[in-house]
Amino acid sequence: MNIFDELSWRGLVHQTSDDAGLREHLETPGRVLYCGFDPTADSLHIGNLVPLLALARFAKAGHRPLFLLGGATGLIGDPSGKDKERQLKTAETIAASAEKIKTHALAFFARVGVEGEVTPANNLDWTRPMSVIEFLRDIGKHFTINYMMAKDSVKSRIGREETGISYTEFSYMILQSMDFEHLNRTLGCTLQIGGGDQFGNITAGLELIRRKTGNTAYGLTFPLITTASGAKFGKSEKGAIFLNPELTSPYAFYQYWINADDRDVCNFLRYFTFLPKEEIDALAVETAERPHLRAAQKRLARETTAMIHGEEELAKVEAVTEALFGGGELHAVDPGTLKAALEAAPGLNFEALPDVPPLPKLLADIGLCPSNSQARKDIKAGGIYLNNERVPSEDRALVAEDFLGGDLLILRKGKKNYGVVTLG
């Protein structure tokens, strides 16, 4: 299948510079394309999965994608979609973030089977050596103020008297255009892809290529992903869902997907997985007929978590999920993943086992029971669990073997109320 058709049935084509021309262009394998990622944070987030997956899809279709890090443009700041100036970051901060993002991206490409087929690059390599005079004469001369003022990213800021737009961010469009022209001239790159808010910058690059070389190139953008409930995609109660496990644990990442709304899940399967249309359609039927099984959500969570965190982390997450919600054996799961799963639960820490109070007081202190006496009643009624095992008596003494991994103990009241006790 032509990659243009593949992206179309998945609902991933929002704008193009020329639908028919681009589709015909992509009939020939080996086309060079790129997508840029500014390293303004230490991690990409799940909204970046659409372009990351697109680069992998193009590679699988026989084309030659470039993963472009914005070492230069990240120092400037893209005004697209922003109502005020970004806070400028140091060159050292941007460079460190770029390296982290590059490491995560290359690991992702390896996991989805296109290792070595997506080439990383950094626009600082050709921007840094350029003098101001060269920039103004060789690049700036091809842009009129009238043309730049007509772009949405600039026009929306010009009307805000209290913020406006600095010359620095005003020039971002020219820098991004220069990237496209440089890659077109040196590597034969003929396509830039990106989010819908990048269409103005992409078409500016097409214009620069046309003016400087007369070459034909193309642009393609993806739609803004929204949820049926109106909530912003990629946000949880704790904020953005990052691809870096140090910022969003694999467990939290998995839970975001498995909690997808029935109205969204099949769209997400199209956008965020490589599953073929027939499988997604079958999961759509199952969701409609047996929504309580959440088969589509489970498949979505499995596919995305394996892509970002690997099969080993997926296995840990699924084991913890089964233990917590299916009553499985907690002693057999990974303690680190278990801690991440219960990070929102109330917790207490003690230096050593002798410092831990008797069970009724512990339940009251951690907030699972309102008082020691109520804790005793709840234990007697069979409603208190220690590491998923019912506590037989209020006299049950805690021993070192109760602490998973030597330092973690899980209390539960009823089915869903958890408390965490740690040592050390």
DSSP notation for 80-126: TT-SSPPPP--HHHHHHHHHHHHHHHHHHHHHTT-TTTSEEEETHHH
Per the domain annotation, does 337 fall within a domain?
no
Residues 6 or more apart whose Cβ sits within 8 Å of residue 4: 13, 22, 23, 26
If you average pLDDT over residues 150-171, what whole number do you get? 79
* pLDDT for residue 235: 73
What are the φ and ψ backbone dihedral angles of 418, each rounded to 5 degrees? -105, 155
Is 198 one of the annotated binding-site residues? no
Range of the domain at 275: 235-328
Residues 6 or more apart whose Cβ sits within 8 Å of residue 130: none
Residues 255 and 123 in one domain: no
Is 176 one of the annotated binding-site residues? yes
Residues 299 and 400 in one domain: no
Residues 293 and 395 in one domain: no
Is 297 one of the annotated binding-site residues? no
* Sign of the alpha-carbon dihedral angle for 184, 95, 105, 10: negative
If you average pLDDT over residues 290-319, what whole number do you get? 96
32 DSSP β-pair partners: 64, 189
Q: pLDDT averaged over the chain?
A: 93
Among 328, 358, 377, which residue terminates a domain?
328
Among 163, 198, 222, which residue terminates a domain?
222
Which tokens in the block code for residue 80? 């697209």
Residues 154 and 58 in one domain: yes
Per the domain annotation, does 230 fall within a domain?
no
Per the domain annotation, does 341 fall within a domain?
no
Per the domain annotation, does 127 fall within a domain?
yes
Asked if residue 66 has pLDDT above 70, the reply is yes
Q: Which residue has the tokens 């073929």?
A: 276
If you average pLDDT over residues 210-230, what whole number do you get? 93
Tell whether pTM > 0.85. Answer: yes
122 DSSP β-pair partners: 69
If you average pLDDT over residues 19-27, what whole number do you get? 98
- The helices-and-strands tally (H runs, E runs) of the chain is 19, 13
Residues 35 and 116 in one domain: yes
Per the domain annotation, does 335 fall within a domain?
no
Say if strands 389-390 and 417-423 run parallel, antiparallel, or are unpaired.
unpaired
Asked if residue 237 has pLDDT above 70, the reply is no
Per the domain annotation, does 342 fall within a domain?
no
Per the domain annotation, does 371 fall within a domain?
yes
Residues 313 and 351 in one domain: no
- Percent of all residues in the chain with a pLDDT value above 90, rounded to a whole number: 77
> How far, in Å, CA of 21 to CA of 219, rounded?
11
The CA-atom distances, in angstroms, between 278 and each of 6, 53, 356, 362 are: 13, 19, 55, 53
Residues 375 and 315 in one domain: no
* pLDDT for residue 55: 98
Among 158, 193, 222, which residue terminates a domain?
222
Stated as kind and residue range, the H or E segment containing 48 is none
> How far, in Å, CA of 194 to CA of 65, rounded?
13
Q: Buried (b) or exposed (e) across 334-344, using 16+ Cβ within 10 A?
A: bbebbbbbbee
Residues 244 and 199 in one domain: no
Q: What is the CATH number of the domain that holds 360?
A: 3.10.290.10
- Range with the poorest average pLDDT among 51-65, 216-230, 318-332, 371-385: 318-332
Reported as a pLDDT band with limits 50, 70 and 90, residue 327 is: low
Per the domain annotation, does 318 fall within a domain?
yes
* pLDDT for residue 282: 97
If you average pLDDT over residues 213-221, what whole number do you get? 96
* pLDDT for residue 138: 92
Is 34 one of the annotated binding-site residues? yes
Reported as a pLDDT band with limits 50, 70 and 90, residue 239 is: confident
What total number of domains does the chain contain? Answer: 3
Tell me what percent of the chain is helix, strand and coil, each rounded to the nearest 5. Answer: 50, 15, 35
Residues 90 and 207 in one domain: yes
Residue type, 360: P
Q: What is the CATH number of the domain that holds 264?
A: 1.10.240.10
Residues 304 and 158 in one domain: no
Residues 138 and 179 in one domain: yes
Residues 73 and 214 in one domain: yes
SS3 call for 293: helix
* pLDDT for residue 337: 92
